[in-house]
Structure 1
Amino acid sequence: MKKTALVVIDVQNAMFMEEDPVYQGEVLIRNIKDLLAEARSNKTPIFFIQHNEAVGQPLEKGSFGWKIHPELAPAEQDTIIQKTTPDSFHKTDFEEQLKQRKIEHLVLAGIQTDICVDTTCRRAFSMGYDVTLVADAHSTWNSGSLSAQQIINHHNGLLRWFSHVRKTSEIRFSE
């Protein structure tokens, strides 16, 4: 069996601000909490990816908006990877951390479906990782003429070329 890690991408406070919250944020939090509980109960490594923006931006490093959502607070044994682009691997030590732990399979959840989740999924696949995208544990915002739900549905269909697409209830981690 391939050694697996749960990867939670950019689930930071700014994504849940009242003036423009991520689509179905409460459902997203609940599903990611379920994934975290399942992963922790089986001692599966967990990686939080945290996006950093410039001074004055919503995800400015050290700001309230930049912090990981409090309901998903990383445990002491979890790893936090800092990034500045949509690609969780680009100019980070993410790959090095995965190799150190001999991880071959990534289970992806988080924000933003059409940017950071998509880019990380495709990059991981191209790097030879087995990838599972959790269909009901990633989200985004409306964009132009597309609703957030349409974007999520589209990516769940499209990313099947790069990953196994499964619902939260179907995800099982084993020691």
Structure 2
Amino acid sequence: MTTFSERPRTALMVIDVQKGVVAGAHQRDTVVANIAALVDTARAQGAPVVWVQHSDEGLEKGSEDWEYVPELPRRESEPLVHKTYGDSFEGTDLEEVLAGAGVGHLVVTGAQTDACIRSTIHGAFVRGYDVTLVGDAHTTEDLSQWGAPPPEQVIAHTNLYWQEQSAPARKAGVVETKDVTFSD
């Protein structure tokens, strides 16, 4: 029930699953495998797959750490959005990409849960999108030495509170990989 009534499609967003971002991520291999399964499902169902790739002074564009993990090959026909802020919409052409594909519902996966994932799901929701977070297809690194909860708690808390989001003419939710469908 997105606010974009003229944009009925659902897209898979794969955010920042880059070598340097997920190198020390919680359950990295399981999460990457779940995202790969979702990419396959989206492609098989004809849903757009939108790739987002972060760069900043700590993650230099063109470096090996900046590259996507090899388990997730992007097709040339699939859009790649380059970003430098946490929210994938800020300072990017993501909105134009989604509008051009008729997308009003986002299925979100990737890294880091407590940074770019949270920023993007909130950014999408306030911009009028329906937003589904795939609960077993996002991850973060352990930042507990700096006062953050352990990664499994960060992930669980994000999944918990995102289920309860609501706003006029929009839906939020959390599903597991096995339950995702891209049918409109």
User: Does 1:11 pair with 2:17?
Assistant: yes
User: Does 1:30 pair with 2:33?
Assistant: yes
Partner of 2:124: 124
Matched residue SS, 1:33? helix
- Within the candidate set 139, 157, 176, 1:167 is matched to 176
Question: How far does residue 42 in structure 1 lie from its aligned partner after superposition?
Answer: 1.1
Matched residue SS, 1:173? coil
Distance 1:42 1:121 in 2: 23
Q: Are the aligned partners of 2:9 and 2:104 in contact in 1 as well (CA < 8 Å)?
A: yes
Count of paired positions: 169
Distance 2:158 2:20 in 1: 23
Aligned counterparts, 1:55-134, within 5 A: 57=58, 59-134=59-134
Q: RMSD across aligned C-alpha pairs, in angstroms?
A: 1.4
- Within the candidate set 146, 156, 166, 2:149 is matched to 146
Distance 1:145 1:107 in 2: 26
Partner amino acid, structure 2, of 1:131: V
Change (3 A) 1:97 1:145: closer
Distance 1:23 1:85 in 2: 22
Deviation string 1:31-69 (CA, Å, 9 cap, x unpaired) is 001100000101111111100112xx2x21000000111
Distance 1:112 1:171 in 2: 20
**Deviating runs (4+, > 4 A) in structure 1?**
none
Q: Are the aligned partners of 1:3 and 1:103 in contact in 2 as well (CA < 8 Å)?
A: yes
Deviation string 1:97-141 (CA, Å, 9 cap, x unpaired) is 111111010000000001100010011010110110000000012
Q: TM-score w.r.t. structure 2 length?
A: 0.88
Distance 1:37 1:174 in 2: 14
Matched residue SS, 2:174? strand
Deviation string 1:146-172 (CA, Å, 9 cap, x unpaired) is 110000000001122162100000001
Question: How far does residue 142 in structure 1 lie from its aligned partner after superposition?
Answer: 2.1
Q: Are the aligned partners of 1:104 and 1:130 in contact in 2 as well (CA < 8 Å)?
A: yes
Gapped regions of structure 2 (runs ≥ 5): 2-7, 167-171
User: Does 1:155 pair with 2:135?
Assistant: no
Q: Are the aligned partners of 2:83 and 2:90 in contact in 1 as well (CA < 8 Å)?
A: yes
